[in-house]
Chains A and B, each alone.
Chain A
Amino acid sequence: MGNLFSVKQACEQVGLNAIITNSKKTILASSAVILPGVGAFGDAMQILEQLDLVQVIQELANSGKPVAGICLGMQLLMTESHEFGRHRGLGLIEGEVTRLSVDTHLDRPLKVPHMGWSRIYSADSIDEQVPVGAWKGSLIEDLPNGTFMYFVHSYYPKPESPDVRLSLTRYGSLEFCSSFQKRNIFGCQFHPERSGPRGLAIYRKLAASIHSLQEQHSYD
């Protein structure tokens, strides 16, 4: 999962011109960056370092352009991960990434990876009728509380500050942060590009935020 081409197709669906690239120049010239990611945390960071992209992404995030991390991409935004050893991340969101622990004593232990559709809830309320105030201005603003999204992961991020958490998701007895946003930096553990029309709404919001940034700049 976490196919680059699915991400590209979702972008095209909402009118965004997406380029799959590892070129510094292209990335710096873009209006927004989506960091997808498959595979292991350590490998991904090593590749970003080899391509000299760590600083590029950090700079971009500080410049105010939208940066969206999906699945492993979300985890990479964190300070560090404990997947196969200890690895430093991009450090844009404080906190660590840890493995989903399952209750093995259960008659039917939960499977890892957590794979399938799960609801995303506001940290304040699980009431589906109430629009989530904390989601206003974020990329999930248009979603109802309790929306189903498609997940595939064995690790999850634990942001230190509860303020950045947008949504929580339950897996067995565990409740984890399934999306966060800190200013222009957004991350989601689920795959919005494979989560039907509601998932596409996140891409649509991303497109809208890019357009409004561009308009602001044209007034400057």
Chain B
Amino acid sequence: MNVRVIARLDIKGPNLVKGIHLEGLRVLGKPERFARHYYEQGADELVYMDAVASLYQRNSLLDIVTRTSREIFIPLTVGGGIRSLDDINQVLRAGADKVSLNTAAIQNPEFIKEAARRFGSSTIVISIEAIRQPDGRYQAYTNNGRESTGFDAVEWAMRVAESGAGEILLTSVDREGTGKGFDLELTSAIAGAVPIPVIAAGGAGKLSHVAEVVQQGRADAVCLASMLHYNLLRSLSSKDDFSGEGNVEYLKNQRGFSKVEDSALPEIKTYLIKSGIPCRAETLDTSRA
């Protein structure tokens, strides 16, 4: 099977942001612009995560989803703060293809079944935010890794698969934004335990990390953020208007993030193929799209 390389965009208000350990957000730019670029560069899918997930900002997110889905014709998953069947419906109506759920599923695991029955399994992605415990086991968290649930991450993964989830977006909160590499042990424990695809997220800092998480971590897809964003930022002379949210100073200084060796999608795909990992390596001719 061709491994998918998925670009993840964390969104706060109108802006793309990036954090470390899912906290300490930095403003990077307008999400639509990044999304368009990744689409043209051959991203296999896009994930939009509402970093704040508060309801009063939801309209702004829905607008971004609609604008994106009108010009980007690859699957778009939207997550963050989705709590009810109505929420899912709203996000799908705005133009998302799949939704990612975490808190709502943990609070009421039956919700996964209801959502899968109503919208189809393949529409329901369960996001698992895992943190390694002192005893070496992994626990599932909510709220960007801030709240403990008491659920063992591997057991929870098996349960969501049984409940009808279409795939699992697995984030290592420990590694998120650090550039130290994916948590291979975590990824392989979960990918080996469930029959559904597992998307590995959190920690990619160089090309070899991406190949490792597929080969050793048995990931079916990889989700990248910093690696791609910093690469694009370097190539942009930013004329974006930033609406005063988050830490814009960082962007003005145009500083890269030293622990991440940034990379563009075509380069990543070429590397994967050279490593013997099949994937779709093509940039799109979007001139007619």
Contacts and interface: CB of A to CB of B under 8 A. Distances in A.
Contact of A194 (B70, B73, B195): B73
A148 B285 CA distance: 13
A9 B95 CA distance: 8
B1 interface: yes
B221 A116 contact: yes
A2 B195 contact: no
Interface in A121-151: 148, 150
A171 to B, nearest CB: 7
Given A2-B122, A196-B289, A39 B2 contact: no
Interface stretch (B29-37, B113-121, B243-251): B113-121
Contacts, number: 117
Nearest to B220: A111
A200 B121 contact: no
Interface string B71-93: 00111000000000000000011
Given A38-B123, A111-B196, A195 B73 contact: yes
How many A residues touch the partner, as a band?
35 or more
Given A10-B73, A148-B280, A5 B93 contact: yes
B145 interface: no
B195 A150 contact: no
B286 A39 contact: no
Contacts of B196: 111-113
B229 interface: no
Interface in B159-214: 166-167, 195-197
A89 interface: no
Given A6-B97, A117-B2, A152-B166, A194 B117 contact: no
A113 B2 CA distance: 13
Contacts of B221: 116
Contacts of A114: 1
B112 interface: no
Nearest to A199: B73
B98 interface: yes
A47 interface: no
B69 A9 contact: yes
B4 interface: yes
A80 to B, nearest CB: 20
Nearest to B44: A117
A3 B2 contact: no
A193 B73 contact: yes
Contacts of B70: 9, 13
B286 A197 contact: yes
A114 B166 CA distance: 10
B73 A172 contact: no
B136 to A, nearest CB: 24
Interface in B102-126: 117-123
Interface centre among B4, B44, B70, B75 (most CB of A within 10 A): B75
B193 to A, nearest CB: 12
A194 B95 contact: no
Interface string A145-166: 0001010111000000000000
14 contacts: A2-B122, A3-B96, A5-B92, A5-B95, A38-B120, A38-B122, A109-B195, A115-B122, A118-B2, A148-B280, A196-B289, A200-B73, A200-B289, A204-B288
Interface of B: 1-4, 39, 44, 69-70, 73-75, 92-98, 117-123, 166-167, 195-197, 218, 220-221, 279-280, 282, 284-286, 288-289
Interface of A: 1-3, 5-6, 9-10, 13, 38-39, 102, 108-118, 148, 150, 152-154, 171-172, 191, 193-197, 199-201, 204
Given A5-B92, A197-B285, 15 more contacts: A1-B123, A2-B97, A3-B97, A13-B70, A109-B195, A111-B220, A113-B122, A115-B4, A115-B166, A150-B44, A154-B121, A193-B73, A194-B73, A194-B75, A197-B286
